[in-house]
Amino acid sequence: MNLTLKIWRQKNANDKGKMVDYPISGIEPDMSFLEMLDVLNEELINKGEEPVAFDHDCREGICGMCSLYINGEAHGPDRGVTTCQLHMRMFNDGDTIYIEPFRAAAFPVVKDLVVDRSAFDRIQHAGGFVSVNTSGNTIDANSIPVNKHDADDAFDAATCIGCGACVASCKNSSAMLFVGAKVSQFALLPQGQVEATDRVMNMVKQMDEEGFGNCTNTGACEVECPKGISLENIARMNREYLKASFKG
Amino acid sequence: MSGILNSSIGRKFAMALSALFLMIFLLQHFIINFSSIISADAFNNLSHFMGTNWLIQYIMQPVLIFGVVFHFVMGFILEIRNKGARQIKYAKNNGAANSSWMSRNMIYSGLFILIFLVIHFIDFWIPEINTKYIQGDMSGLLPSGEYRYYEELVHKFQPLWRVALYCLGFVFLALHLLHGFMSAFQSVGANNKYTRALKGFGKAYAIVIPLGFIIIALVHHFNH
């Protein structure tokens, strides 16, 4: 396959940045998108140019490290996959492919396609956990009965890998699908009830302080989420938040 | 509870509550207007009741005005904040791949509805306030001794430009409601096993009510 790549290049956080065209040839349809970028970077290094910086780690679709806004969609045109699991067979010979970083004021660009998603970490620190006594008398988690339906929903919410595709896809750069999933995975379980009020209040407060936008329920996040996190989690977070607010 | 409007979810909740209130108002407005194509007397009686009942005039009318103003002001505040959450736009963004046009353009459909409402206020509300509260005529009667409401309604729908603007206003209202109805329920946390049915009902509401208003305008325009 012969392609034209239009890639966002930005030297550092303070650089203005611009889109740069790179023709590339000899790409196999079975290559992953990141392998295609590896080929490009090898060519750039051989030419003595600066390779394109992009985030990646496991390349198995489970770590949430890869990102990229490809042809106007987070993680590209395929559904239910991260960029590392996106394959070049989704494109045609001769295509022009736009590759941009996830855009949000709360996700500043570090370099080229690498963005700082530590805002998500700070939201997690604000309440995305349960406090467990680990002093030697820890109660076996299985000793607390959990309704199967709730356990399944909690597990579904917990599959969020925190990649930030929801923020990147949302026209408002809202992080509510991420925070909704993180609130839900505990709100659905008895273990999460003790800190339920503080959790949702603190996580939403941190989310707002980070500068994410307001959800307007377009549903773009749900469509683009590589893990299929449902909008039901945002509704559950809204309920949890309102319940906690009225409780005082 | 304090400062709930300072949080993103609190603002969403307030926006949704005002939307739900406005949707209930719209339904009763539609029922009264629809009565005009069935019976002039029914429309006159209902209009006179709404126009003179103290509960409607002094309690519900201010609540309605507050609801409308709040919905618009909060809509603009949210839009400005949301624009600020992404300062650098994408060179290529395929919004149609993951969301409806209506959901992405609520501010524009809302703006057109606002323009329509300004004209509606000039056309209807200001003359009503003038007649009832400045000239002090609460009788609702024409010099002939008949109620004035039906006559005024028919008269308003004679100029073609007003009918066209009216119809266009309701097309934008339908677009606004096609996203807004379900969005309001999602914002108050209602997303459960009834969501599918509610979505269907919402679509029907978003199409039937505005279409009904358009039919009312066209019937009066072409029948008189």
pLDDT tens digits along B7-28: 999 999 999 999 999 999 999 9
CA distance B144 to chain A (A): 52
Task: Return the HEC string of B172-183.
Answer: HHHHHHHHHHHH
Helices (H), A15-111: 33-46
Chain B residues 37-76 with a CB less than 8 Å from chain A: none
Which residue of chain A is at minimal alpha-carbon distance from B4?
A245
Strands A18-24 and A69-70: unpaired
pLDDT band at A248 (very low <50, low <70, confident <90, very high): low
- How confident is the model over A225-247, as pLDDT tens digits? 999 999 999 999 999 999 999 88
Percentage, residues of chain B above pLDDT 90: 88
Instruction: Judge: B1–A73 Cβ closer than 8 Å, yes or no.
Output: no
Instruction: Judge: B106–A216 Cβ closer than 8 Å, yes or no.
Output: yes
Q: What pLDDT is recorded for position B6?
A: 87
Which residue of chain A is at minimal alpha-carbon distance from B86?
A104
Instruction: Judge: A217–B179 Cβ closer than 8 Å, yes or no.
Output: yes
* Domain spans of chain A, in order of start: 3-111, 117-247
Q: What pLDDT is recorded for position A91?
A: 98
What token pair was written down for A66? 């890869």
CA distance B35 to chain A (A): 35
**B9, B87, B94: which to substitute to probe chain A, counting the most A Cβ within 10 Å?**
B9
B chain contacts of residue A220, beta-carbon cutoff 8 Å: 95, 98-99
Please enumerate, as own/partner, the contacts of A65-68 that have beta carbons within 8 Å and a separation of 24 or more: A65/A163, A66/A34, A66/A163, A67/A101, A67/A102, A67/A113, A67/A115, A67/A117, A67/A163, A67/A164, A67/A165, A67/A168, A68/A33, A68/A99, A68/A100, A68/A101, A68/A102, A68/A113
CA distance B95 to chain A (A): 7
Helices B160-187, B8-35: inter-axial angle, 10-degree rounding? 140
Q: How many CB atoms lie within 10 A of CB A182?
A: 28
Class of domain A3-111: alpha beta
Residues A215 and A233 sit within 8 Å (Cβ to Cβ): no
Instruction: Judge: B86–A174 Cβ closer than 8 Å, yes or no.
Output: no
Interchain CB contact of B189 with A (< 8 Å): yes
Distance between CA atoms of residues B190 and A236, nearest Å? 8
Q: Across all residues in chain B, what is the average pLDDT?
A: 94
**Which CATH number does A117-247 carry?**
1.10.1060.10
Q: What is the mean pLDDT of residues A156-176?
A: 98
pLDDT band at B1 (very low <50, low <70, confident <90, very high): very low
CA distance B138 to chain A (A): 43
Residue ranges of domains in chain B, CATH in brackets: 4-84+103-223 (1.20.1300)
Interchain CB contact of B10 with A (< 8 Å): yes
